[in-house]
Every structure is written in structure tokens, then in C-alpha cells.
Chain A
Amino acid sequence: MSLLVICFDPSELSQVAGFGASFGTYDVLLLTGEAGNAGASKIHVANLVEVPPADNIGKSVASVAANYTHVAAVSSMRAKDLMARVAGINQSAMITDVVKVFSETEFERPMVAGSVLARVKAESTPIVMTFRPAGFDKTVPGPNGSVESISISDTGRVKRVSTSARQGGRPDLSQAKFVVSGGRPLKDAATFEQVIGGFADKFGAAVGATRAAVDSGIAPNDLQVGQTGKVVAPDLYIAAGISGSTQHMAGIKDSKLIVAINKDGDAPIFDQADLGIVGDLYEVLPELEKALS
């Protein structure tokens, strides 16, 4: 058994130790940035300026991965894009969104919008996985055994002509300790930014949204939380004007404390929130901001 964890940037290095420990020792392939503590036996540093499109580096990454029985990455859109391609190239089994490791071949993962946990068995190696760090110990990784540079080649077949990243300094949703999310009733982008964004900035929180909010142009797409958006696991999740659909709850189940603000006392979110208040979010949020400050 040998495990390689692929990290897209150094921010992921601190998230691999808990998962990696389930396998004993592991190596890391870091695609961009400088090596930091990851608790790896060996860290291969590719030193790419940015991560190229999955197609362009798929084969090169797959050839590194081919030296291992198990290859994993922290679950994210970019990981799903690249890792499934690598699995296809190496004809690997693939397990998406692993939350528990039972053995070298058996894993637990959520399905059907998080309503079911499946125990999945890989029938053959190699095995490619993406995993959710929230399911594993938050072990602070020690130093790496050795650091080696490695060359990942870019075929250039797919051209990236532009990127538009979210503006401004808010914490990354998937790693945030405190998330405030808004739903459909937030009217428009300016209201969302002022009411949800304003509240979040007071406390250094990350901002999230429902699909309904994103679809109606109230919130940018990368803020969508849920089955088909981001999965968050903060200490505190405040849901304002969110009904509590299965698809949204799939993304917030690992939160320590879920607080719901909804003007409809029968909204399904109250069944799953730890604390709920029936009220108008436009009144409750400003008052709560004062009370918590």
C-alpha cells in the first residue's frame, strides 16, 4: 500500500495529515507554491505558477500517480476535475468525497444529497479518491521526510483565456470557522452584499448562499453551498432566509452549530438547526450583530 496526496496549493497541506494517518505514511505532490509541513514521507514539489487545465497536466500527473496504489486529494471542484481524469487515464477505481476510511479498500461516502452514507469497496487498485477533511482528525502535520522537485508537463492543448476570481479578502468558505449564508429572499446582489456580506465582515466570517440565491443572480456562483456546491464545516453556520432543502443541508451537515433565521415557523430548516428564531432576517441580523459584538 502506498498513498500519494495531491495538493493544488500550500493551503491544502495542513488538511492532509488526518486523512493520511489512516494509511500510515504518505507522500505529497504539491502542484503550486512552496513546500510546507504536510507530515509526508516525501513531498514532490512541482512549482507550477498556476494549476493548468486538467486536460493539459492529466497525463503527467497520472504518470506520477501510477507509482502508488492510492491517490487522493481534498474534495473541491478542481480536484474532481483533475482526479477523475487521472483515474480515467490510469484505469483506477474512484471514490468521491470519502469521509471515513475503514480499511485500505473500504470507505464511507455520502450519496443522494447526503441523505445516505454508503460503505464502498474498491475491487481493484489503483484507487483514486477525493476526501472531505472535516471527516478526519485535525492533526497538525509535522515536517516532511524529504523534499524533491518534480516536473509536471503542460501539453497546452486547452487554452485558459481568462479567469475571474472572487474579490476581496473574505475567508475561503470550505475552510472557514464561521459562515453566514443567505437565500432567495435577499432581493438582489446589492442587498445580499449589504445584509449578508456586511454581517459577515463584522465577524471575519465567510459568505455562502443557496442555489436559489445564486440562480436569481443575488449571489455569485462560487458561494453556493450544498449537494452540488461547496461543502462547509464551520463551528458556526448562520442560515438567513433559507428554507432547508435536502440539497442545501447536504453541504452544511458537518457544521458544529447551525442557526436558522426564517420568518416561517414551519420552514424545514428548523428541524435540523440547533438554534432557530422565527423572524424577519432584515430585523434579526442587525440586532444579532449588535448582540454578538
Chain B
Amino acid sequence: MDKPLRVLIAKPGLDGHDRGAKVIVRALRDAGFEVIYTGIRQTPEMIAAAAMQEDVDAVGLSLLSGAHLTLFPAICKELKKKGLKDVLVFGGGIIPDEDVKPLQKAGVDAVFGPGTPLQTIVDYLKGKLAVAR
């Protein structure tokens, strides 16, 4: 039996919209992932420390407040500082199309907005992490 993949779902900043994050947590669990959820109001340092201690394969960020252009890159930087260079970073929430490019440049591999079928996200993650292994 393959060991389950581990994913951290995190909500940085002051954004309290946590429905989407919880939907993702449940979808990934049901798809066979071991999912750790940080809860809301996390700093980049807290998220990076949790990712390190939990030795996750991927970190999923959820943000609906509009602060993604500052927070997502800050988290990517913090992860690198902790030596987590190989961890896949992806995200979702309310993120305008034009922001996707700069986020990718900062190290966020992909972004999924409202209405994305959950299976698309599961397939993306399984595909990416299978290659990484």
C-alpha cells in the first residue's frame, strides 16, 4: 500500500471566510489525502512552521479577502527559509485572473477559483505529487 500524501490547508491573514477551505479539506480527505488544517488567522511564519513539522507534500492556501498578492509570496519565502524548497504550493479563493501570473512567479504553482470542480483540484494534486515522487 502506498503511503498517503500529506497536505496542509492554511488560511493566512485576517480573512475569516473559511467555508471554501473546509470544502477543500473534506474533498482531499475523501480522495485519500491526510489533510492538516491550520484554521484561520495564520501568519506566514506559523504556516511555514506547521508545514515543516508535519512534513507535508503540499501547502494549499485559501484567501478571499484580496490580500493574496502580499500574503502568498510571503508564505513562499518563509517556506524556502525553512528549507522546504520541494513543497508544492497552490491556492484558491477570490483571486482575479491578472493576479495569477505574479503569484506563479512568486512560487504558487496553481490557483483555483469559485466553481472549480473539486475533482479537478484532486486530479491536479495527485498528478503533480506523483511526478514529484
- Real binding pair: no
